[in-house]
Amino acid sequence: MDNPIIIALDFKNRIEVEKFLADFQDEKLFLKVGMELFYREGAAMIKALKKAGHQIFLDLKCHDIPHTVAQAMKQLSELEVDMVNVHAAGGSEMMKQAKKAFGSQGKMIAVTQLTSITETMLEQEQLVTAGMQASVKNYAQLTQESGLDGVVCS
């Protein structure tokens, strides 16, 4: 990765993105595109950002059965994004198939636990009694064993 700083494009549409990027016309940035923007603007937004020379982290936190996530990763690989992510809760088989389908063109990382998850939610809603620290550590280890490039753990 050329630029270690990733700027989150947490905007609701292309117009807001273009206004923001107007201040960086001569710079090639590493940009994070999340669900809201991607679902609104789609692949065209990614293609435009790539055409402008930016690196892209497509932050969709894919989480489904292994086959479905693998098929999604094949589609995302065609966008030539530099980094994508999955949710480690999908399990090691899902992560392995996702990584294989995405290929070696970019990095794939896994989210361990969402920042909105509390110890109480973990225990009462997800029925995970090991605790947050153990859960995050376990997901990080599964991610590494599955061959992914890193984790997001907050």
* Max Cα–Cα distance, the chain, nearest Å: 50
Residue holding tokens 């609104």? 40
CA–CA gap between residue 39 and residue 59 (Å, rounded): 11
> What gap in Å lies between CA 87 and CA 113, rounded to an integer?
8
Tokens at residue 131, please? 């605790």
The catalytic site residues sit at 61
16 close to 46: Cβ distance less than 8 angstroms: no
The DSSP symbol for 89 reads G
Separation of CA 66 from chain center: 16
Helix (H) or strand (E) holding 65: none
